[in-house]
Chains A and B, each alone.
Chain A
Amino acid sequence: MMTAALIGILLLTLAAGAVAMSLRNLIHSVLLLIVCWLGIATFYLWAGAEFLAFSQLLVYVGAVSMVVLFAILLTRRSRIDVAVAPDSASRALWALVAGFAVLGVLAYGMLNAKLPVSTSPVPSVSVRDLGAQLAGTHSAALLVIGLILTVALLGGVVIAASGRADIMEEKGK
């Protein structure tokens, strides 16, 4: 029963990802990507990681999806402004090389990772323990991540604001 559910979740997630890559309509691709993220959240739920699943939902489906959608809407002029063929052969070649390099690194990492397999039953971690760990032993890491995200956000604002200033100057001329 649990295995059948897992296979269903995996098929949904992978299918959504695959169709998202092959579609020409960018908005449809993003919506399918969100289905893919939903599938990952469902997988976390299946694995019993409730907190992680809801965080995934809140962060990816709620926030990151909005960032992606806004980025697409603000940069595309029209609905059919999608490249259907690569610009040049060398560009396509480099794209393939980069793609396979990433795939190679990931596959190498996954195949060589020795995952510890425990025979004892998995201890159930409550949200309270999780919170104590995050705010206790791992608080430094949490703060560093928060700092990095804040700096990235400020950088994004600075880039957007400077672009705005150029437009204003052009209008002034």
Chain B
Amino acid sequence: MISNIHSPDPLLERAPQLILDAVTGSLHEPWRWLANGVISIVMILAVFGGLFAALTLAERKILGRVQNRPGPNRTGPFGLLQPIADGIKTMTKEDIVPRDADQLLHLLAPVTLLASAFMAFAVIPFGRHLVALDLDSSVLYFFAVGATTELAIFMAGWASHNKYSLLAAMRALAQLISYELPLLMSWLPVVMLSGTLSATGIVAAQAGWKHGWMPSWHIFTPWGFAGFVVFMVAALAESNRSPFDLPEAESELIAGHLTEYSGCKYVLFFMAEYFGMTALSGMAVTLFLGGWHAPLPALEFIPSYAWFGMKLVALLLGFIWIRATFPRMRIDQLTRFSWKFLVPLALINVGTAAFWFLSAGWSGPMQAVRWALAAILVVLPFVLMGRRLSAGLAPRTYRYAT
């Protein structure tokens, strides 16, 4: 049900394409292709590098406010220059490498991690005409590139020649492998229902509005909602964010597998974490939140990349909010939560999506039955399994505190 197709697009919508044409239009073919590619890469680095700087400041500010303190406020007006000060501080720090460490791998680990985090951005459609690499199986590419993360963490832990680093790396791997499964299974229904593995195809499948006002985004279906929640929980764990940040729990484990890293290399890990988080949020926007589509037909005059940016920032602020709210989990609780709760839920959700696909022809009052059945398929397992897992654990009784 695609209702609004603009021809031609408004000027702001075409602006990035027009500027690119103006810069590279005079070149001849392989050079033009090369120049376009280089400009895309530089733009992604610049935009998301800037977003990273803004995000570190926003995180410290918001965490500060949540904890009833002002946050950084001394560097520049309202502390706005704090990211620059942080950058200068970390770049000028001494880079200490342990004498017994595997020098090459110690250096390669953060580089591999950051490279894989950056490569993931290539296939995300940021706007109607803004996608660096439009592959036929781009969603698969996104998660295949992310698979090298585990390797980098192992390299960091092993190359440090420190038993605590190695143990922490193994713990981090246990976490990443546990949450890889729900992460991969949560977007299977999206691929099943839209019938394509290409990110632009999935965005195109979410175009239009039902009844003229309800966006046909995947999150507004029972299976899409469940898939989105599972995806975001798994994304939290995959990007080592609180409440799943025990690979490098700052206050308890002295940064886990990053113990032997300092200065510039530590920052590379830190950047990779934020870029991974941003890329996963971008993928969540693409898969479930309608990509760059506007939520209402009346709001279509705002360019598509602005909508993508707003949804992305909203998800990232959600990550920060969750970090400020939830306490850290223990490793056994963490793996149990994944294998006994998220994986079954994601599997059942694939079944729900199959039901949704088969009942696509139902109309009239059967439409209500379809929604009710799918909602039951989502809510009932959640409630039943949640009760079984938390049996005997809640409510908590405080014996000593009053």
A-side residues, CB < 8 A to B, are 27, 31, 34, 50-51, 54-55, 57-58, 61-63, 65-66, 69-70, 73, 126-128
Contacts and interface: CB of A to CB of B under 8 A. Distances in A.
B141 interface: yes
Interface stretch (B13-21, B150-158, B264-272, B304-312): B150-158
Given A55-B144, A65-B150, 17 more contacts: A50-B141, A54-B141, A55-B140, A61-B148, A61-B151, A62-B147, A63-B147, A70-B170, A70-B173, A73-B158, A73-B170, A127-B137, A127-B140, A127-B196, A127-B197, A127-B198, A128-B195
Nearest to A130: B137
Interface in B116-147: 135-137, 140-141, 143-145, 147
Given A31-B155, A66-B173, A128-B196, A54 B148 contact: no
B154 A58 contact: no
Nearest to B135: A50
- The bracket for how many chain B residues form the interface is 20 to 34
Contacts of B166: 73
Interface of B: 105, 135-137, 140-141, 143-145, 147-148, 150-151, 154-155, 158, 166, 170, 173, 177, 180, 195-198
B31 to A, nearest CB: 14
Nearest to A25: B102
Given A51-B137, A66-B173, A126-B136, A61 B147 contact: yes
A133 B24 CA distance: 41
Contacts of B147: 57-58, 61-63
Nearest to A51: B137
A90 B135 CA distance: 54
The 6 closest A-B pairs by CB, nearest first: A62-B147, A57-B144, A54-B144, A58-B144, A54-B140, A127-B137
Nearest to B108: A31
A62 B148 contact: yes
A34 B155 CA distance: 12
B137 A50 contact: yes
A62 B137 contact: no
Contacts of B177: 66
A66 B178 CA distance: 13
A31 B198 CA distance: 31
A27 B198 CA distance: 36
Contacts, number: 58
A69 B137 contact: no
Contacts of A65: 150-151
A126 B150 CA distance: 30
Nearest to B140: A54
A27 B391 CA distance: 44
Contacts of A66: 150-151, 154, 173, 177
Contacts of A34: 151
Nearest to B150: A66
A4 to B, nearest CB: 14
Contact of A31 (B105, B136, B140, B195): B105
Nearest to B105: A31
A27 B158 contact: yes
Contacts of A31: 105, 151, 155
A55 B151 CA distance: 17
Contacts of A58: 140, 143-144, 147
Nearest to B100: A79
A63 B148 CA distance: 10
A88 B338 CA distance: 48
A7 B151 CA distance: 27
A70 B147 CA distance: 16
A128 B201 CA distance: 12
Contacts of A62: 144, 147-148, 150, 180
Contacts of B154: 66, 69
A61 B148 CA distance: 7
A53 B98 CA distance: 37
Nearest to B180: A62
B136 A50 contact: yes
A167 B136 CA distance: 51
19 contacts: A50-B135, A50-B136, A50-B137, A51-B136, A51-B137, A51-B140, A54-B141, A54-B144, A57-B144, A57-B145, A57-B147, A58-B143, A58-B147, A61-B144, A61-B148, A62-B148, A65-B151, A127-B196, A128-B196
Contacts of B155: 31
B34 to A, nearest CB: 13
A48 B155 CA distance: 31
A5 to B, nearest CB: 14
B202 to A, nearest CB: 12
Contacts of B151: 31, 34, 61, 65-66
